[in-house]
């Protein structure tokens, strides 16, 4: 078929070949470690130059390969590999590129566990990690060193949702001979095409939107043709693998990703707009809002948004903040995101190395689930009203607008 298919059609048909699996519409769950060969010739033919043991369950089954093929097509990359978690995809993708004595640059807004890995684990391997301002853009060139091997990007950044000029950063990195790696979990490959913007390796926590049902952990890393040999060998050397049942759940989730993500996006923006007008809310961090500092970059490079954003509340007594969180009925309090359910996560001021992130009140990360947006808005309003009622002497500026 020569005509380019729409995303929803591609994701329904990609990675499936019923004729290879007795007509099954879904790729079956292949469980097993040992893969037999019928002849010596067949056994020898399965060996690969860098992996003579390729014919073994750790290196994938038809279930694994179906997901990797589908994700690589979604990302627009060369090949993909699966990992036991999103963080495992991030860390092992880094290790596949970095060597002792190398230098890596990461945005100051990077995902917290990735920051910890860079600061603590990489240091033990004589790899220097340095952070840069998320808004650096082409200015990152000033921090590139002769031994800079990898520049890491994440847009929007975890917690604070700051955008990055990824094409400008990638141009500077490639000019210096460095690879570019991106955490593309927030937008998914549906709403950001990393390899069209200069990324060499894209990582995702498939735990989030790809699986979409909060019932499995999974990470995926996708590389372009140049970076693929590094990613492939590095991952295999560490022995990372994942069970077929979780891979099946990811294949299942991806089939409905366009429908789910469109509602997450739409509901998230509605919640963010309502909250931006509420007097208890000091700031809303969502790049799809026109007033957000990163909106122009989001509009230029992204095809959509997810349901994850954050707010900063105005300073208030602990009792009022507790009242707001505890009064919520449709939002669970929990880590992760990307499932069908709405969540809130109270956050402290983010850790920064380049410059402090200014925060006066408490921050709350919000994930807009698949509930009706009117119900979620009503729930947030009544919880904010409960916080307002808890304030000792609310002034006229604290009145809640309908």
> How far apart are alpha carbons 76 and 175 in whole angstroms?
22
H or E element at residue 310: strand 308-313
389 carries an active-site annotation? no
Residue 373: strand, helix, or coil: helix
143: its two tokens: 């921090």
Q: Which of 165, 183, 246, 292 is catalytic?
A: 183
Please enumerate in sequence order all residues whose Cβ is within 8 A of that of 199, keeping only pairs 6 or more positions apart, or say none: 153, 166, 170, 180, 181, 182, 184, 224
CB distance 306 to 155 below 8 Å: no
58 carries an active-site annotation? yes
Q: Which of 111, 132, 152, 209 is catalytic?
A: 111
43: its two tokens: 């056994």
Q: Assess whether the previous peptide bond of 156 is cis (omega < 30° from 0).
A: yes
HSE (CB half, 13 Å, CA atoms) of 57? 10
314 carries an active-site annotation? no
37: its two tokens: 């060969």
400: its two tokens: 């809640």
270 carries an active-site annotation? no
Output the CA–CA distances (angstroms, integers) from residue 181 to 28, 151, 264, in the order listed. 32, 6, 26
* Helix 318-327 × helix 373-390 angle, to 10°: 150
CB distance 220 to 80 below 8 Å: yes
The torsion of the CA quartet 15, 210, 188, 271, rounded to 10 degrees, works out to: 150
Q: Which of 16, 193, 208, 260 is catalytic?
A: 208
> How far apart are alpha carbons 262 and 267 in whole angstroms?
9
HSE (CB half, 13 Å, CA atoms) of 249? 19
CB distance 106 to 115 below 8 Å: yes
Q: Which residues are catalytic?
A: 58, 111, 183, 208
């Amino acid at each position: 078929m020569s005509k380019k298919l729409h995303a929803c059609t591609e994701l329904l048909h990609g990675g499936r070949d019923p004729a290879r699996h007795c007509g099954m519409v879904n790729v079956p769950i292949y469980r097993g470690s040992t893969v037999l060969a019928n002849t010596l010739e067949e056994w020898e033919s399965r060996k690969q130059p860098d992996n003579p043991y390729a014919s073994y369950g750790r290196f994938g089954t038809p279930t694994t390969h179906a997901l990797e093929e589908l994700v690589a097509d979604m990302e627009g990359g060369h090949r993909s590999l699966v990992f036991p978690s999103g963080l495992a995809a991030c860390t092992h993708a880094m290790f596949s590129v970095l060597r002792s004595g190398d230098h890596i640059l990461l945005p100051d807004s990077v995902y917290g566990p990735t920051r910890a890995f860079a600061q603590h684990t990489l240091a033990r391997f004589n790899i220097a990690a340095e952070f840069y301002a998320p808004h650096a853009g082409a200015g990152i060139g000033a921090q590139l060193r002769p031994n800079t091997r990898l520049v890491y990007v994440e847009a929007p950044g975890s917690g604070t949702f700051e955008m990055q000029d990824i094409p400008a950063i990638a141009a500077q990195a490639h000019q210096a001979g460095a690879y570019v790696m991106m955490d593309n979990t927030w937008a998914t490959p549906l709403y950001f095409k990393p390899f069209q913007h200069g990324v060499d390796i894209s990582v995702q926590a498939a735990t989030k939107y790809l699986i979409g049902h909060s019932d499995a952990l999974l990470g995926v890393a996708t590389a372009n043709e140049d970076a693929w040999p590094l990613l492939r060998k590095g991952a295999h050397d560490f022995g990372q693998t994942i069970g077929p049942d979780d891979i099946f759940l990811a294949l299942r989730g991806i089939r409905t990703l366009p429908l789910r993500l469109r509602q997450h996006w739409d509901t998230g923006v509605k919640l963010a707009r309502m909250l931006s007008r509420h007097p208890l809310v000091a700031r809303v961090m969502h790049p799809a809002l026109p007033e957000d500092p990163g909106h122009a970059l989001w509009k230029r490079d992204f095809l959509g948004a997810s349901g994850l954003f954050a707010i900063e509340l105005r300073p208030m007594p602990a009792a009022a903040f507790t009242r707001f969180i505890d009064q919520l009925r449709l939002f669970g309090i929990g880590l992760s995101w990307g499932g069908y359910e709405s969540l809130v996560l109270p956050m402290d001021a983010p850790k920064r190395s380049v410059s402090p992130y200014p925060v006066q009140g408490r921050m709350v990360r919000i994930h807009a689930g698949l509930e009706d947006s009117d119900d979620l808005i009503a729930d947030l309003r009544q919880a904010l009203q409960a916080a307002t009622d808890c304030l000792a002497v609310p002034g006229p500026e604290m009145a809640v607008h309908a």
